[in-house]
Amino acid sequence: MTASGELRDPAPVEPATDDSIAYYGQGLAGRVVFGLAFLMTLVAILWNTDALSHAGFAFVPEQLYALELGLALAIVFLGWRLNRSRIGAVPAYDIALAVFSLGLLGWLAWDFDAVKNTEFANSTQFGAVIGGIIALLIIEALRRTAGYVILAVVLVFVLYAPVAHLVPGPLGGAKVEVWKLAINLGFNPNAIFGIPLEVGTTVAIMFIFFGQVLFRAGGGNFFTDLAMSSVGRRRGGAAKISIVGSALFGTISGTAVSNVVTTGIITIPLMRKAGYKPTDAGAIEAIASTGGQLMPPVMGIAAFLMAEFLDVPYASIALAALVPAVLYYLAVFIQVDLIAARDKLSFVEATRTPLKIVFARGWHFIVPFVFLIYALFWLNMPPAQGAFYSAAIVVVLGMVLSGGGTRIKLADIPEMLASTGMIVVELLMIVASAGIVIGILNLTSLGFAISLFLVSLGGGQLWLVLLITAAVSIVLGMGMPTAVVYILLAAMIAPAVIEAGVDPMQAHLFILYFGMMSMITPPVALAAFTAATLTKASPMGTAMAAMRLGWVAYVVPFLFVLSPSLILHGTPRNIVIDVLTAFIGVYIVTVAGVGYFTRPLGLPVRGLLLVCGFAGMLPVAFIKWGAYASGGAMLVGVLLLFWEWLAVRRNGNISGSGAA
């Protein structure tokens, strides 16, 4: 959409939806990388659609994981130099590493079961050598692609394993000999070839492909235009465009930093033009983008990992996450609306295109999401299959219909497959490295030791265990991708919460929320800092403003641990009461936090509203006569707001034009 309010014809869409760029390199090496990346996605599609089994081939899952890992390692050594650069000729030693990696993992993929049963079951020296080499290749590939922060975390665990029995105190572990460590990392199903790599090579790659197809068809522009046309002319419209656009975009990308970069380029200048301060504009974009990972149905890779860890259908994870995610966005939406009214910010002038025109040009982008929800919730289709068939729908419709001037051609399909593979490469290095960490946690019993340590540190008090867990989750999550954060927390921290008496679903959602809040929590708040680079504002100031806007994400996890009704578990009565009072309570607390309703609020009124809002949000099962206490608090809070509205109305001075 142009500044004059007309829908634009989108420029060619970049094939990558992640922070990496789908860059293949020059010359023969570039063509080889393109082919390997293309093959990665094609193999995943054949596996997830059962095409191989229908053709009469029988494979065990580890064969897929090994082949995909081998392809990814070969791409890394051909595409990333020793100094982590993506530029320059490929040296001979990197060519040798690429061929060796693909050959070793290809051989392992050819007959994984036989190799495992021979080398792992019999604890052979050859098996230890294979496992050790694979681990070293992954660690070096991780260094080249993901950098030194994640590498440092992995190396700490690798160095801990041989000396675990020498560590004093509660964090000491079992004695593990180096050869035993190597063979377990290579062949134990709870290590490299475990759940993280399984999700990366099946579910994640299909959803990334779905996103690539949507972008190629013009879906990214459709979601931005939809946000502009639906809320742009509302009070605080520039910020609401950011919120709606980032929430919609989050269904594609599932990564906070990617959301900030992609939508922030459009929304941040609009917010600045409307009068939002640089720190507020960056904070709004950061908090809206972070919420994209919490919003069903897609929720990013962490939700799929959770489904595997808990061994429950993905649909149950998405359903449980629905109310907390809506509360998250409700709080942000209300705040930007009231801030706009309080500060008398202007409307966005670039939003005059009727909503019906936006839908007329992009209605077909809604179809795959409708199908995806239907497939996941009603057909109980595996998420990877649902994502692929949704992508196929986009391809078919995108060839027939123009998404605002963009149409998919048959010639685009190889590029979409290859660009998907390039994005997945970095992810596979991360999840494979996370498998190394999980293997060490299990082998040394460090995970169990950490759980006991946290529970003892909390003195058996659930609230103290939760506070400690929340703080640890945020600290561990700083500077790392969400997938790694969740894997580490699920292996190290979640057992402590479960040990304290919390249901596994509640415990894992709890750590997921606080792991994601590391994206906006100082000192390393990646989403907020990324937004600050676009606004040229203080990174720390942007992060602090984002924390204020996202306050509900720090509160709601404690509420659904105290009572599962907010994740839609429990009696219908409790669910209805708790969800209703939570929505009202969030509204009241947000008004108090902004200090404005229909007019500026005094400190006594704000203080009383805060008490009423937080008291009303408490689950009915948490205290005796909870329904009456919650209802009473809600009533007082609502009456206070009504009194404020009435007082301004008597003076004929309500500023409700264009309100939310």
Whether the per-residue pLDDT at 266 is higher than 80: the answer is: no
Of 5-14, 597-606, 628-637, least confident by mean pLDDT is: 5-14
Per-residue model confidence (pLDDT) at position 59 = 82
In angstroms, the CA 409 to CA 395 distance is 9
Whether the per-residue pLDDT at 194 is higher than 50: the answer is: yes
What angle in degrees, to the nearest 10, is found between the helix axes of 237-253 and 256-274? 170
236 HSE (CA, 13 A, CB side) = 25
Per-residue model confidence (pLDDT) at position 479 = 64
- 467 or 657, which is more confident: 467
pLDDT tens per residue, range 227-255 = 777 766 667 677 787 787 777 776 566 56
- Where residue 15 falls among pLDDT bands split at 50, 70, 90? very low
Whether the per-residue pLDDT at 299 is higher than 60: the answer is: yes
Instruction: Pull the structure tokens for residue 50.
Output: 């059962």
Whether the per-residue pLDDT at 24 is higher than 60: the answer is: yes
Q: In this structure, which amino acid lies at residue 463?
A: W
Cβ 616 vs Cβ 644: under 8 Å: no
Whether the per-residue pLDDT at 541 is higher than 70: the answer is: yes
Helix (H) or strand (E) holding 346: none
pLDDT tens per residue, range 317-352 = 888 999 999 999 999 989 988 988 888 876 665 555
Per-residue model confidence (pLDDT) at position 323 = 92
Helix (H) or strand (E) holding 265: helix 256-274
Express as a percent the part of the chain with pLDDT over 90. 29
Whether the per-residue pLDDT at 7 is higher than 50: the answer is: no
Cβ 44 vs Cβ 204: under 8 Å: no
Cβ 179 vs Cβ 52: under 8 Å: no
Per-residue model confidence (pLDDT) at position 291 = 85
- 250 or 136, which is more confident: 136
Spatial neighbors of 157 by CB under 8 A, at least 6 apart, are: 436, 437, 440, 441, 446
Spatial neighbors of 141 by CB under 8 A, at least 6 apart, are: 72, 73, 76, 77, 80, 429
Per-residue model confidence (pLDDT) at position 3 = 35
Instruction: Pull the structure tokens for residue 606.
Output: 């704000």
- Where residue 657 falls among pLDDT bands split at 50, 70, 90? very low
Count of CB atoms within 10 A of residue 655's CB? 15
Q: Mean pLDDT across the chain, nearest whole number?
A: 83
Cβ 138 vs Cβ 436: under 8 Å: yes
CA angle 402, 407, 411 (to 5 degrees): 160
Q: What is the mean pLDDT of residues 487-504?
A: 88
Whether the per-residue pLDDT at 473 is higher than 70: the answer is: yes
Q: What is the mean pLDDT of residues 624-651?
A: 81
CA distances from 365 to 220, 226, 397, 403, 494 (A): 10, 11, 9, 8, 37
Per-residue model confidence (pLDDT) at position 363 = 86
Express as a percent the part of the chain with pLDDT over 70. 90
pLDDT tens per residue, range 378-416 = 888 888 898 899 999 999 998 988 766 678 888 899 999
Q: What is the mean pLDDT of residues 98-124?
A: 86
In angstroms, the CA 339 to CA 275 distance is 11
Spatial neighbors of 56 by CB under 8 A, at least 6 apart, are: none
Count of CB atoms within 10 A of residue 625's CB? 10
Cβ 528 vs Cβ 516: under 8 Å: no
In angstroms, the CA 556 to CA 590 distance is 14
Per-residue model confidence (pLDDT) at position 14 = 38
Per-position DSSP letters for 4-20, written without gaps between them: TSPPP-PPPPPS--SSS
pLDDT tens per residue, range 420-467 = 999 899 889 988 998 999 899 889 988 888 888 888 887 778 888 899
Locate tokens 């006569």: which residue? 625
Per-residue model confidence (pLDDT) at position 4 = 34
285 HSE (CA, 13 A, CB side) = 36
Whether the per-residue pLDDT at 224 is higher than 50: the answer is: yes
- Where residue 129 falls among pLDDT bands split at 50, 70, 90? very high
Whether the per-residue pLDDT at 47 is higher than 80: the answer is: yes
Per-residue model confidence (pLDDT) at position 617 = 85
Top-confidence range, 13-27, 132-146, 207-221, 513-527: 132-146
